[in-house]
Amino acid sequence: MSVLRLKVDRYLPNTGNLPYSLLNAGLRETIIRRLDRVTPSTRPLLFAISPGRSGSEFLAALIDATANASAVHEPRPKMNGAFLRGLSEARLKSTYDRRRVKIVQLLRALGSLAPGCMYAETSHMFVKTFYDVVLDFFADVRVVHLRRDTVHVIRSFAELGYFSNASTHWRHWMHDPHASEPLVAPAVEEGEADSFDRIIAYLIDIEARAARLRERYPATPVVAARLEEISEPAGARRLVDQLGLQWTDAAAAVCARRKNRRAGKKRIVGQPVDVAYCRERLDHYLELARRRSLPLPNGFQGWL
């Protein structure tokens, strides 16, 4: 690993903090092909599955406050943007080598940790654009499947203008189920789908991708967690114990100060949405899916 780190430092200083567009120019031939000759670290790593707006930033803060883990939220390279556009099996296969840029950042992060410290990273891009390169390379990877009440996720997406023309930010982070290859076909045709239909189709696709990760990597331990439960000290402590981490007073303090940091952005977009309406739209969408006999992911309705 030391040889790789020297090469990274020589050609691309501060690699772990640079966006992919800057990494790509000198990295593919110079560094990435050398990964096959690197012995992966045996240190445990932790990642999260989520659709976004489900508490992944809070999860990173909680884990980082334990005694034996260092956690970050969406570090660079973020693996969004170009990697995400037109998300499909063919595209993921063709970009596999370039997506291994993520490994370089992880090796740098691991090299800076104290002995016995777990590295944790939370990003909803993990299940979409880089879980395979990570799980193929590292031997000890653990995953938290973080869920939040679906109706509240729908409302959060809608209030932020996601999957609509009210915002362009989401296009860098989320794939439109009608413009990519979702694992479950949308229940509403593209010409008839509004932003709520697209949001729900996206959430179903994320759950299907989580199931596919489990199928492809059955040896990878996946711990289920709900934001509503881990926001409370008792639930947070149970999760920390499950992950083999050590609870601290700082972790308890993270639970105490949790708050919605995007309220201001929601007011700017200006789309207040009623929870009851989100429930109505979700029920309607699921009824359409049943009529079309679409194969909803196992357990999807169990965590709504």
pLDDT score recorded for residue 14 = 40
DSSP code of 219?
A: T
Say yes or no: 254 and 268 in one domain: no
Torsion of CA 279, 282, 288, 294, to 10 degrees: -140
CA distance 257 to 302: 29
122 in Cβ contact with 73 (< 8 Å): yes
Say yes or no: 104 and 232 in one domain: yes
Question: Can you say whether residue 163 is alpha, beta or left, with left for phi > 0 and alpha for psi between -120 and 50 degrees?
Answer: left
Edge-to-edge order in the sheet of strand 141-147: 69-73, 118-122, 45-49, 141-147, 222-226
Q: Interhelix angle for 249-256 vs 56-64, to 10°? A: 150
Say yes or no: 71 and 121 in one domain: yes
Q: Both tokens of residue 67?
A: 């005694």
The answer to the question of residue 213 being in a domain is yes
Q: Give strand pairing partners of 70.
A: 119
CA distance 66 to 246: 6
Say yes or no: 75 and 138 in one domain: yes
Q: Tell me the pLDDT tens digit for each residue of 96-147.
A: 988 888 998 898 899 899 989 999 999 999 999 999 999 999 999 999 999 9
119 in Cβ contact with 70 (< 8 Å): yes
The answer to the question of residue 303 being in a domain is no
Say yes or no: 68 and 110 in one domain: yes
Say yes or no: 213 and 238 in one domain: no
The answer to the question of residue 302 being in a domain is no
The answer to the question of residue 117 being in a domain is yes
The answer to the question of residue 304 being in a domain is no
The range of the structural domain enclosing residue 266 comes to 150-219+261-297
Say yes or no: 167 and 137 in one domain: no
Say yes or no: 29 and 173 in one domain: no
The answer to the question of residue 127 being in a domain is yes
Say yes or no: 194 and 250 in one domain: no
Say yes or no: 215 and 226 in one domain: no
pLDDT score recorded for residue 32 = 67
Angle, alpha carbons 169-174-175 (nearest 5°): 125
Say yes or no: 157 and 62 in one domain: no
Any idea what the CATH number is for the domain that residue 88 is in? 3.40.50
Say yes or no: 103 and 231 in one domain: yes
Lookup result for tokens 């209030």: 159
Q: Which residues contact 192 (CB under 8 A, 6 or more apart)?
A: none
The answer to the question of residue 162 being in a domain is yes
The answer to the question of residue 124 being in a domain is yes
DSSP code of 114?
A: P
285 in Cβ contact with 197 (< 8 Å): yes
pLDDT score recorded for residue 16 = 40
pLDDT score recorded for residue 11 = 36
Q: Both tokens of residue 295?
A: 């194969």
Q: Give strand pairing partners of 223.
A: 144
Total domain count for the chain? 2
Q: Which residues of the chain are under the pLDDT cut of 70?
A: 1-33, 259-270, 299-304
